[in-house]
């Protein structure tokens, strides 16, 4: 087993997540961009109450003990909370070519079939937009640099799914950043 980076295992609403991100020391490792994923399995139906602390422990076992990875993605986002998994100030593992210089964000759901514009999928979307706005703002990362897992050259996956449209995500994150700054550009 490689040197496992212990998980954070904390969950936040979007306001708490922004405060949390502002409290971190970003001098050791600073990502150049963010990569968006969907869990696919489990999908929304398989996690009717979102993620729990036990799910984070199960994910630890999966990444550390079954895959023999040193870390996992940085965030797991459901319709209730933003879960910090791998510490945000260190590299994680989530997309081969992108691991060393990006934050990996996993959204609960299979957005090839789950709806991303209403119901629980919309709640996941709103939490994801809030998390991305916080990270892009704090780290001064251009939102246009956002990548999807399917952009990674070594994958065959259609992740984060056909129902997630990059241009819409970028526009919503930009709008939220402007709104948080009081409407200034």
pLDDT of residue 96: 84
Of the candidates 65, 43, 7, which has an alpha carbon nearest to the alpha carbon of residue 120? 43
Would you list the domain boundaries of the chain?
Answer: 10-180
pTM recorded for the entire structure: 0.95
User: What value does the mean pLDDT take over residues 130-148?
Assistant: 96
Over residues 9-43, the pLDDT tens digits come to: 999 999 999 999 999 998 889 999 999 999 999 99
Token pair for 155: 């994958």
pLDDT-derived band at 181 (thresholds 50, 70, 90) equals confident
Q: Where are the alpha helices (DSSP H) in the chain?
A: 14-23, 53-60, 119-139, 166-180
pLDDT of residue 46: 96
Map residue 172 onto helix, strand or coil. helix
Q: Which CATH superfamily is domain 10-180 in?
A: Peptidoglycan recognition protein-like (3.40.80.10)
pLDDT of residue 161: 96
pLDDT-derived band at 185 (thresholds 50, 70, 90) equals low
Of the candidates 170, 171, 168, which has an alpha carbon nearest to the alpha carbon of residue 33? 170
Of the candidates 22, 18, 3, which has an alpha carbon nearest to the alpha carbon of residue 133? 18
Over residues 78-114, the pLDDT tens digits come to: 999 999 999 999 999 998 889 899 999 999 999 999 9
Q: Which residues contact 153 (CB under 8 A, 6 or more apart)?
A: 97
Distance CA 139, CA 63 (A): 27
């Amino acid at each position: 087993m490689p040197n496992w980076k212990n998980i954070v295992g904390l969950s936040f609403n979007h306001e708490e997540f922004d405060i949390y991100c502002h409290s971190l020391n970003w001098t050791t490792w600073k990502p150049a961009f963010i990569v968006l994923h969907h869990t696919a399995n489990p999908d929304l139906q398989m996690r009717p109450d979102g993620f729990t602390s036990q799910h984070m422990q199960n994910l630890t076992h999966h990444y550390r003990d079954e895959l023999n990875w040193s870390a996992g993605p940085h965030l797991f986002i459901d319709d209730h909370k933003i879960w910090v998994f791998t510490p945000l100030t260190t590299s994680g593992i989530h997309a081969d070519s992108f691991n060393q210089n990006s934050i990996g964000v996993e959204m609960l759901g299979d957005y090839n079939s789950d709806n991303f514009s209403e119901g629980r999928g919309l709640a996941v979307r709103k939490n994801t937009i809030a998390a991305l706005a916080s990270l892009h703002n704090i780290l001064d990362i251009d939102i246009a640099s956002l990548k999807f897992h399917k952009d990674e050259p070594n994958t065959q996956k259609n992740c984060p799914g056909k129902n997630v449209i990059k241009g819409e995500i970028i526009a919503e994150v930009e709008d939220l950043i402007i709104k948080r700054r009081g409407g200034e550009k």
